[in-house]
């Protein structure tokens, strides 16, 4: 019989162990969020789902259908509203979204769009989404259940990547082991009290809203810090969403030969947040 030490030190053994560990981590992250028949928690208030969108006609339908298919909406439909904030799209984004939810408009800039949607919303709880994501059926139920605690002002959860296999694996490990995920509140997967947003004066809309680093710093880091100063912010690891893997600038901004999609071209022209 082959000694187990010999087995795990071979390439095949290491690969098998890594695959097993990755599978276990992935199951830990996703088992509950895909459980449509899980216990459903009553909402702690009226909930407004806010989705900024700029030229997302290829993705907005998948996003909206996944959100409107949440298990909690079937039981507590009257507690929810969904708002797409069209950020001056030049395609059919607004036309498609109007078939499924409310659509309002806002000046260009991702934070402008989020801010407009939040202030327009009638909900006590704001759920922040992106227009190129898929949200599993038990996601919203898991995310907002924490607001029954009086000290909680916000909840955020990770996102995983659809697309490239190796990148997907990298995200599974990063989300599971890296502390960074816990301290960055993604706009694609978070919720907070509207009253808390107003209490901390919301986002700083003066930042450069066409610079991805500036946006990410304000939306994911500084905003979370402000919320932490007035209450508890929870990281709900069991409620991930799935986002498309699209290039976000970098080398594509430096080399015009790499610009092959409308999404990338909009980044280079400074049109996309």
Q: Is the dihedral of CA 261, 262, 264, 265 positive or negative?
A: positive
| 200 within domain boundaries | yes
CATH code for the domain in which residue 114 is found = 3.90.550.10
pLDDT at 117: 98
Whether 28 is in a domain gets the answer no
In this prediction, residue 250 carries a pLDDT of: 38
Residues 86 and 105: beta-carbon distance below 8 Å? yes
Radius of gyration of the chain measured on its C-alpha atoms: 20
Tens of pLDDT, residues 182-239: 888 999 999 999 999 999 999 999 999 989 899 999 999 999 999 999 999 999 999 9
Tokens representing residue 242 in the block: 């799935």
- Residue 16: per-residue pLDDT: 79
How many other CB atoms are there within 10 angstroms of residue 246's CB atom?
A: 13
Please report whether residue 36 resides in a domain. Answer: no
pLDDT category at 160 given cuts 50, 70, 90 is: confident
Do the domain assignments include residue 224?
yes
Residue-wise pLDDT for 236-261, tens only, equals 999 999 887 554 443 333 334 334 45
Question: Domain range holding 241?
Answer: 43-248
Q: Which range among 30-39, 47-56, 85-94, 249-258 shows the weakest confidence by mean pLDDT? A: 249-258
Q: What SS3 state is found at 127? A: strand
Cβ count within 10 A of residue 178: 13
Number of domains the chain contains: 1
pLDDT at 103 over 50: yes
Kindly state whether residue 271 falls inside one of the protein's structural domains: no
**Is the pLDDT at 127 greater than 90, yes or no?**
yes
Asked whether residue 18 is assigned to any structural domain, the reply reads no
Pairing outcome for strands 47-53 and 125-129:
parallel
Residue 11 lies in a domain: no
Q: Say whether pLDDT at 176 is over 90.
A: no
Q: Is the pLDDT of residue 145 over 90?
A: yes
The pTM assigned to this predicted structure is 0.83
Please provide the average confidence, as pLDDT, over all residues in the chain.
85
Question: For residue 272, what pLDDT band results from cuts at 50, 70 and 90?
Answer: low
Report the half-sphere exposure of 210 (CA within 13 A, side-chain side).
12
Q: Tell me what pLDDT residue 7 has.
A: 45
Is 257 a member of any domain?
no
What average pLDDT does this structure show over 42-53? 97
Query: Which pLDDT band holds residue 269 (cuts at 50, 70, 90)?
Result: low
């Amino acid at each position: 019989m082959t000694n187990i030490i010999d087995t795990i030190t071979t390439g095949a053994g290491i690969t098998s162990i890594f695959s097993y560990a990755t599978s276990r981590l992935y199951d830990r992250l996703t088992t509950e969020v895909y459980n449509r028949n899980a216990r459903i928690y009553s909402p702690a208030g009226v909930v407004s789902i806010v989705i900024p969108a700029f030229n997302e006609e290829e993705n907005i339908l998948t996003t909206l259908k996944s959100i409107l298919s949440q298990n909690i909406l079937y039981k507590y439909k009257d507690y929810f509203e969904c708002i797409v904030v069209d950020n001056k799209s030049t395609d059919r984004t607004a036309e498609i979204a109007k078939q499924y939810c409310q659509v309002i408009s806002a000046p260009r800039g991702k934070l402008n769009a989020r801010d407009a949607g939040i202030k327009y919303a009638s909900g006590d709880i704001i759920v922040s989404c992106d227009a190129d994501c898929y949200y599993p059926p038990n996601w919203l139920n898991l995310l907002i259940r924490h607001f029954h605690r009086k000290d909680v002002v916000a909840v955020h959860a990770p996102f995983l990547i659809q697309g490239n296999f190796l990148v997907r694996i990298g995200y599974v490990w990063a989300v599971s082991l890296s502390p960074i995920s816990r301290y960055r509140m993604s706009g694609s997967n978070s919720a907070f009290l509207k009253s808390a947003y107003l209490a901390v004066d919301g986002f700083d809309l003066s930042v450069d809203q066409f610079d991805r680093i500036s946006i990410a710093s304000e939306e994911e880091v500084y905003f979370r810090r402000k919320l932490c100063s007035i209450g508890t912010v929870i990281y709900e690891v069991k409620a991930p969403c799935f986002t498309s893997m699209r290039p976000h600038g970098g080398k594509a901004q430096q080399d015009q030969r790499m610009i092959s999609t409308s999404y990338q071209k909009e980044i280079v022209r400074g049109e996309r947040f």
